[in-house]
């Protein structure tokens, strides 16, 4: 079914079209969810919530940009909204300005599933800043608006995320090289 026809059928709330849309994009959007969620179960919940939002708002898609990109943005925003709801209101976020950059060692020989696991293990604020900046090309200014934090906090969270990931990668390499 052509995408435009599929979208129009979804606007008409045709269940067969909605199911076809889900089957067509569930894997891509699950991958997006995995980047922002702490585990597979949370990612699956985010995927379901995202599809509900997509289907409820599909008539708002205005053909500016790609449909897949529009759905990815909804999926990312759903995960971020859940993160924001889970932030403890009495936990202040510090605005720490750190200089320098932490480079993550080459990861070619590490399976993608392990790298994804390392990212998922990051504290929420680090994981979300890392994903938005490094994987989805948001600027610190954009991240600060999305998460209601300062640009300095965004930079600090990215720096700390890279530091944690660097240590995880080095430990993984050390552990796996010692078994060879």
How many whole angstroms separate alpha carbon 21 and alpha carbon 1? 10
Q: Give this prediction's pTM.
A: 0.67
Q: What are phi and psi of 42, to 5 degrees?
A: -65, -40
Give residue-wise pLDDT tens across range 92-103. 333 333 334 555
Provide, rounded to the nearest whole percent, the portion of the chain with pLDDT above 90: 56
Average pLDDT value for residue range 64-75: 92
């Amino acid at each position: 079914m052509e995408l435009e026809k599929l979208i129009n059928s979804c606007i008409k709330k045709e269940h067969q079209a909605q199911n076809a849309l889900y089957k067509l994009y569930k894997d891509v959007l699950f991958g997006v969810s995995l980047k922002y969620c702490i585990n597979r179960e949370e990612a699956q919940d985010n995927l379901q919530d995202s599809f509900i939002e997509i289907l409820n708002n599909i008539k708002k898609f205005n053909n500016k940009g790609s449909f897949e990109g529009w759905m990815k943005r909804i999926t990312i925003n759903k995960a971020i909204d859940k993160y924001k709801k889970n932030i403890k209101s009495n936990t202040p976020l510090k605005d720490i300005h750190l200089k320098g950059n932490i480079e993550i060692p080459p990861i070619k020989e590490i399976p993608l599933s392990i790298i994804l696991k390392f990212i998922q293990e990051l504290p929420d604020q680090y994981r979300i800043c890392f994903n938005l900046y490094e994987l989805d090309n948001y600027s610190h200014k954009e991240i600060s608006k999305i998460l209601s934090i300062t640009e300095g906090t965004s930079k600090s969270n990215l720096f700390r995320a890279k530091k944690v990931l660097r240590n995880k990668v080095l430990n993984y390499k050390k552990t796996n090289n010692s078994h060879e």
